[in-house]
Chains A and B, each alone.
Chain A
Amino acid sequence: MNTQLLRVLVSLTSGAVFGFGLSLSGMLNPVRVRGFLDITGNWDPSLAFVLGGAVGVTAMAWRLAGRFIGQHSILASTCRKTDQSTVV
């Protein structure tokens, strides 16, 4: 398989995992998101768990990326993380 096809498959899988995770987290539901922001009402802390889980895992990947990969990712010669001007 060529690199470009692999990159498309990685993007597709990454999107699907993101969408499934978002569905599982309950944050597809605007009422749940609003519940987190409604601190004077019936506060729902769920969003903090979602963000905590996501940031924790991503932070480990970020450190891995710095240690093992340096400026290059596996399937791309350029890595956006090194480009400070990049729009996230």
Chain B
Amino acid sequence: MHDDLQGGIVVSVYWSALVGGMLIGVSASMLLLMNGRIAGISGILARLVQGAEISTNAAFVVGLLSGPLLFLLVFGQWPSITIISSLPVIAVGGFLVGFGTRMGSGCTSGHGVFGLARLSQRSIVAVATFVSCAIIAVFLMRTFRS
């Protein structure tokens, strides 16, 4: 938790996290029940790039990108984003994330939200793998940077 967040503010941060997560669940539920599709961001983006179901996949991506703008309209400020890494590190990290999510057949939304919701063994293994590897990566970055 951030040092500047104390007491009641911490609680409200957790409420935002929970409600935000539930909205992500509502989004995934809509797509499943109405369109019969899984709200996996990497999969939707990959299918869009490959030219499959362009209209619905593009609509989802446009909606997704409008999310922060809706946040601005509702709360009067942009969602806070703090970038601490250099551009080359971000570029390499982004490439690895993209490569890994394709190789692992899904990302935090597909495996993390949807896979865990339906107790898919493949997704449970994927989530356990990417979370533990990410924890190790963060630990190593901390150790070697400081």
**Residue ranges of A at the interface with B (Cβ–Cβ < 8 Å):** 4, 6-31, 34-35, 37-47, 49-62, 64-65, 69, 72-76, 78-81, 86-88
Contact = CB atoms under 8 A, between A and B. Distances in A.
Contacts of A4: 55
A11 to B, nearest CB: 4
A12 to B, nearest CB: 4
B interface secondary structure, majority: helix
A51 B30 contact: no
A52 to B, nearest CB: 6
Interface of B: 1-3, 13-14, 16-41, 43, 46, 55-57, 59-68, 70-71, 74, 79-85, 105-106, 109-118, 123, 131, 134-135, 137-139, 142
B23 A26 contact: no
Contacts of B113: 51, 54-55, 58
A interface secondary structure, majority: helix
A77 B4 CA distance: 51
Contacts of B117: 54-56, 58-59, 61-62
A67 to B, nearest CB: 11
Contact of B24 (A8, A18, A46, A76): A18
